[in-house]
Amino acid sequence: MKRKLKLVLASALAVATVSTVAFFALPASAEAASFTVTNSWNSGYQGEISVSNPASAKISTWKVELTLPAGSTVGQSWNATLAAAGQKFTFTPAGWNATIAGGASTSFGFIVNGTGRPTSCTVNGQACTGLTGTPTATTSTPTAAPTTTSASPKPTATTVAPTTTSASPKPTTASPTPTKTATGSTPLALNGQVKVCGTNLCNESGKKIQLRGVSSHGIHWFPSCYTGSALDALATDWNADLFRIAMYVQEGGYESDPTGLTTKVNSLVDQAEARGMYALIDFHILNPGDPSFNLTRAKEFFAKVAARNAGKKNVIYEIANEPNGVSWATIKNYAEQVIPVIRANDPDGVVVVGTRGWSSLGVSDGASSAEIVSNPVNASNIMYAFHFYAASHQDNYRAEVTKAAASLPLFVTEFGTVSASGDGAVDTAGTNTWIDLLDKLKISYANWNFADKSEGSSILKPGACSAGTFSGTSVLTESGQLIRSRIRTADDF
């Protein structure tokens, strides 16, 4: 749903952002498209195209055709449907973004393998003119990067979109002493080792509970957002029960630095535990969407973190963020190979399994939870993930969650207050309707995302992380203020 949709799938390779823009101008009263290179590295780049409608009448559909030189290909795209024929790449609407009102615009993104820039372009069959500016590739070491998204069930089966930030803020030192410890009235102290009982999450005593918290963005992109001071604010100012640790596998994540990312995850588990919060370890696969692609990496990672954290009561494992483009049978097979690796080291930890269609229970693929109910994962103490973005996923998604919750233990490991792109206006009414439903059904949740990226789904305003101030409402976006107000209400433990 980060998108997803929400999602924002971040290109991982960026420190430097290339701002040169090539404009494709069209005749008067026709559509216009602008092409931007948003990230660039040795072997490729991330591009974005904005299709705008300068006329007063709405556009009912659009088609952008790009031609790339030999040696360069589009490897993935989001918020558009991609078709390729030789060196010509055609982008059409994802479905939900086909219509463009007068004076409005929509955008989509893509990753190019190779450094060749587009040599031609058409929009709705008309030749684009005025192509100017040739951005040069920038070599950089991946550090900071874009969003998620990201993410979550999408309106159509499109890949989730990356967005980017400028070079990541300088990390600050984590505070060694938390302001709240795992004693007394903290969520961890009150509930202990959680477990699945029937269709609910229960505490150590068997009471049905709901954990409420937030998700990080990619922990390797926004290191200054995940310091001791930040977790202090979540534990004491937000009264959060849960911190989701989003560790991307691709996009410069675990695949590129297994040791470093494993260490980061374990450190955040410790910091959450010290503050009395639960830690949801998220193996953040998004692209490619087939979890089997990362099966070996998943086994390696979860063997290590489960062995290291087996004695802790605050750890929950999310083994596949947003599977997409694959069947439920494929996801189930993956889960039944990874879960035993965790169980060999940590027999008590709850495991959350991603679901079809960007963890939409299959809804974003035109399916439903019935396929899971009739063919569940062969393991105990597990839950199933559901993701949504309030402005894009509405009544039909809520109806499916309501139906599924009667048969399956669900955990909303990611959701956004905005559209499935991860950006746009906050849908306050839709978000409150969703959270009211989750509260009613006692479904635990984590909001995407606790970072200061300049986009609608971010909880923190740009620059907040480098400034090192996380408490109060002045540092929060509209989305952050809404989510904080809901999480701060009393838990029913």
Confidence of residue 39 (pLDDT cuts 50, 70, 90): low
Please tell me the number of Cα atoms within 13 Å of 257 on its side-chain side. Answer: 19
414 classed as catalytic: yes
Of 31, 371, 414, 455, which residue is the catalytic one? 414
Single out the catalytic residue among 322, 371, 400, 455: 322
pLDDT at 224: 95
Amino acid at position 346, single letter:
D
Q: Which of 10-19, 55-64, 299-308 has the lowest mean pLDDT?
A: 10-19
Q: Is residue 145 situated within a structural domain?
A: no
pLDDT in tens, 61-74: 888 898 999 999 98
336 is catalytic: no
- The values of phi and psi at residue 470, to 5°, are -125, -15
Show which of 86, 102, 127 is a domain's final residue.
127
- Residue 450 sits in which domain range? 187-487
CATH, residue 108? 2.60.40.290
Whether residue 120 is found in the same domain as residue 194? no
Question: Which two three-digit tokens encode residue 171?
Answer: 């990390």
| pTM of this prediction exceeds 0.85 | no
The pLDDT score that the predictor gives to residue 127 is 67
Of 109, 127, 145, the residue that ends a domain is: 127
Give the mean model confidence (pLDDT) for residues 382-398: 96
Clarify whether residues 234 and 365 are in a common domain.
yes
Least confident of 63-72, 349-358, 369-378, 455-464: 63-72
Assigned domain for 237 exists: yes
Report d(CA 221, CA 250) in Å as an integer.
Answer: 12
Q: At what angle do helices 428-441 and 395-404 cross, to 10 degrees?
A: 10
Query: Hey, what's the torsion of the CAs at 91, 92, 97, 100, to 10 degrees?
Result: 100
CA–CA separation, 247 vs 321, rounded Å?
Answer: 10
User: Looking at the structure, do residues 113 and 192 belong to the same domain, yes or no?
Assistant: no
* pLDDT per residue as tens digits for the range 204-252: 999 999 999 999 999 999 999 999 999 999 999 999 999 999 999 999 9
Give how many domains the chain has, as a whole number.
2
CB contact at 8 A, 350 and 319: no
